[in-house]
Structure 1
Amino acid sequence: MPTAIIADDERLMRDQLRMRLHQVWPELEIVGEAKNGEEAVELVTQLKPDLTFLDIRMPGITGMEAARQIGSQSNIVFVTAYDQYAVEAFERGAVDYVLKPPEQERLQLTVDRLKERLAKPKAAAVVSDSVTQMLSQLAEKMAAPKPAYLQWIQASIGQDLRMIPVEDILFFRSDEKYTCVQTEKFEALIRKPVRDLAEELDPSLFWQIHRATLVNVNAIEGVTRDIRGRHLVLIKGKSDKLEVSRSFLHLFKQM
């Protein structure tokens, strides 16, 4: 029976991954859990699991640093909530990975690869030079200073200009010429398109749900469907319903 440990500083994420793994690979035995990189390294040394599921960013040493210390003792599977750069890096480095939140279909692909690897004689993870270099580059990118996001929006209200704190904005919605800036109390206009705002606003605060719409995560009351099957975001305290494009539906699977 194959064995594994799960390392993630979020208890709920460990529980969710354990549940998903049981669904797609009931034979896999989870023999331990770790809350940080140090604990993961210690558990691998003690338990010698076939597989180690490592969150990338944890307190203390990161998942990438833990992977270097674990080396060939266990097959490494990175668990990541990070951007396409990370996914592409893992693909190039032939490293197994699971995206957060773990989805059954994507997890099944990873499990199939892992089963194939474990079926080979003397199956053992080797963190090769090329993969180590890739991990180092990714670590540098993640450790780089965060960009300075917009804190204020200068918008027109009639003949007046107003400085609006971004946290007060419920959503942005563009048409061909202008972008509407909607707050709880008023509506204003700017000329900057949503595609530019998406690059300048904190992505953890504003989600792009449509090519013409950005919404403040804290303003979302829920998501519903209309009779045409479209997904619509409901805004707290407002009657507005903002359409969600198919390409952005994945944002709401974690809610």
Structure 2
Amino acid sequence: MPRCVIAEDESLLREALLQQLSLAWPELEIAAACDDGGSALEAIATHQPDVVFLDIRMPGLSGLEVAAAMTEVSPHSQIVFVTAYNQYAIDAFEKGAVDYLLKPITQDRLLATVKRLQMRALTGAIDLQAVSALVRQLSGGPADVPKPAPLVWITASVGTETRLIMVDDIAYFQADSKYTVVMTAEGESLLRKPIRDLLQVLDNSMFKQIHRSTIVNLRAIASISRDDSGKGLVRLKTRPETLSVSQPFMVLFRNM
């Protein structure tokens, strides 16, 4: 049975796509349905799916960043971008080797996409160079939605005390159930916000996800090494502990 991974951060759209796929492609097995780019990348590396449906705009890693990593992490997976992008992106898709679905997704369009995916699976041909070229083109194109200004400071709790912490002083964030542990040189604080919400407001040029539960400040990194299994190890400038980088995320560091 063919397998797929779905990555869509909006729960209603994700559930709708699952239902539509069950009708358009009944034999397709859903290996994972993810709500952010980091968990999607790890699911893709684990399951090696035949097809990946990627929302372009997601918290943390975008669909484009996940697709760029996939050329090494899961090179045989076909990609379908799910997008509400403008005409610039549509023109790029039409010339590329990657399929796309426009939001809101219609069943007719999905059926046509499924047929193309099935035909490409028979040929076994995935043009990785064309995928990489398309990702680069889309990454450098005009954005249709302006991004909000990145977070500058946060308030976090230490016991009964509430502290104001400048974001630049944070070494890393670590998920802790529905909350997030904030680590600075002085120690840890507790932020009453899940790590997934932080991914949407941090400066993604300086704060990088290295695991589905960890975001690190690039300014705080002293070194990155790799063990024999391909996993990474981050050493920090101001903290004694080391942080693990899951294997799929090492690809993103190599491309930086």
- Normalised by the shorter chain, which TM-score bucket? 0.5 to 0.7
- In the alignment, is residue 81 of structure 1 matched against residue 84 of structure 2? yes
The amino acid that maps onto 1:108 is L
Task: Map 1:45-194 onto structure 2 (within 5 A).
Answer: 45-71=45-71, 72-120=75-123, 123=124, 125-128=126-129, 130-143=130-143, 146=146
Q: Distance in 1 between matches of 2:145 and 2:18?
A: 33
Say which SS state the counterpart of residue 69 (structure 1) adopts. Answer: helix
The amino acid of 2:13's aligned partner reads M
Aligned-residue Cα RMSD (Å) equals: 2.0
Task: Tell me the secondary structure at the aligned position of residue 141 of structure 1.
Answer: coil
Shift in CA distance, 25/144, structure 1 to aligned 2, threshold 3 Å = closer
Distance in 2 of aligned mates of 1:47 and 1:142: 33
Q: Deviations over 1:94-153 (max 9, x none)?
A: 211111111011111110000101122xx264431x442332232222458849xxxxxx
Identical positions, percent? 47
Maintained 8 Å contact 1:68/1:127: no
TM-score (norm 2): 0.52
Q: TM-score, normalised by structure 1?
A: 0.53
CA distance in 1, matches of 2:10, 2:136: 24
Residue of structure 2 equivalent to 1:160: none
Q: Give the residue type in structure 2 aligned to 1:127.
A: L
Task: Answer whether contact 2:86 2:144 (CA < 8 A) is retained.
Answer: no
Query: How far apart, in 1, do the equivalents of 2:126 and 2:34 lie?
Result: 19
The AA in structure 1 aligned to 2:66 is A
Distance 1:38 1:112 in 2: 29
Q: Which one has more relative contact order, counting CA pairs under 8 Å at least 6 apart?
A: 2
2:33 aligned partner:
33
**Structure-2 separation of matches of 1:124 and 1:47:** 20
Which amino acid letter does the alignment assign opposite residue 44 of structure 2?
Answer: V
Counterparts in 2 of 1:145 and 1:27: CA distance versus 1, 3 Å: closer
Q: Name stretches of at least 5 consecutive residues in structure 1 with no aligned partner.
A: 148-255
Query: 2: distance between equivalents of 1:143 and 1:84?
Result: 11
Using a 3 Å threshold, how does the CA distance of structure 1 residues 136 and 108 change in structure 2: closer, same or farther? same
Distance 1:88 1:55, change over 3 A: same
SS in 2 for 1:46: helix
Q: Distance in 2 between matches of 1:134 and 1:82?
A: 14
In 2, Cα distance between the equivalents of 1:139 and 1:20? Answer: 29
